[in-house]
Amino acid sequence: MSAQDVVAVAVAVLVPVVTAVAGVVSLLVQDWRVRRSREGRRRLAFEDATRQVTFAAEWWKARQLLPATPETLQDTAAVAQSWLDEASARVTAAGRACSDEEPHVSASRLLLLYRMRHRSAKAIRIGFYASMGVMGIVATGVLGDAQDGNPIVWDVLYLILAGVLALLLRFWAVSADSAGRH
């Protein structure tokens, strides 16, 4: 095997591997962003609940300082209790949202093998699979051309373009499917 053949085989093997690694890294970054976003929403819910409880306590104290009948104080207590219940529900909902199962990197997520909700995402996923198939065919062609001693520059370029197209279609499919969920 000549040096050109070794380079051809290395490129034919490395392009799909680099594409897969880029996909995994993108999933890890996406999961990190989702966790940060979820933590931010939880922190905001706790801050809102704290402000609401503080307001309810101060409002209750102020109402007690005003002359009132026992019936008026009972109505005031009911209003304050409803505000406290609302704050408690907000904190509980935020805690429940954070305790949901964390997404993890898996082959089914990487290869879009899960059920998609939107037709556009399903159509884009078909394009993703087609580009992955083209990558496989071109990689086989690179190996064959390298074995026969034919030039492989265009084959390698097609392989790289198919890998980039596959990544772009994957990102687009995930984006199209998650657009209606948030």
Q: 48 pLDDT exceeds 80?
A: yes
- Which tops the pLDDT comparison, 165 or 26? 165
How does DSSP assign 119-143, residue by residue? Answer: HHHHHHHHHHHHHHHHHHHHHHHHH
Percent of residues, the chain, with pLDDT higher than 90:
13
Q: Judge whether 108 and 67 are in contact, CB under 8 Å.
A: no
The predicted-structure confidence for 83-128, as pLDDT tens digits, reads as follows 889 988 888 887 776 555 556 667 777 778 888 899 999 999 999 9
Sequence-ordered strand ranges (E) for 10-81? none
Distance CA 11, CA 182 (A): 40
- 66-96 per-residue burial string, b: 16 or more CB within 10 A, e: under 16: eeeeeeeeeebeeebeebbeebeebbeebee
Q: What is the pLDDT of residue 101?
A: 52
Q: With a cut of 90, say whether residue 4 has pLDDT above it.
A: no
Examine the pLDDT at 159 and tell me if it is beyond 90. no
pLDDT (mean) for 32-48 = 84
CA distance 18 to 163: 9
Check residue 30 and give its pLDDT. 78
Opening angle at CA 146, ends 140 and 152, nearest 5: 85
What is the per-residue pLDDT for 98?
56
Q: What does the pLDDT average to over 131-145?
A: 86
CA distance 137 to 81: 68
Cα separation, 71 vs 151, whole angstroms: 93
Cα–Cα separations (whole angstroms), residue 161 to 53, 137, 166: 57, 13, 8
Q: How confident is residue 151, by pLDDT bands cut at 50, 70 and 90?
A: confident
From the list 130, 101, 108, the residue with the least C-alpha distance to 23 is 108
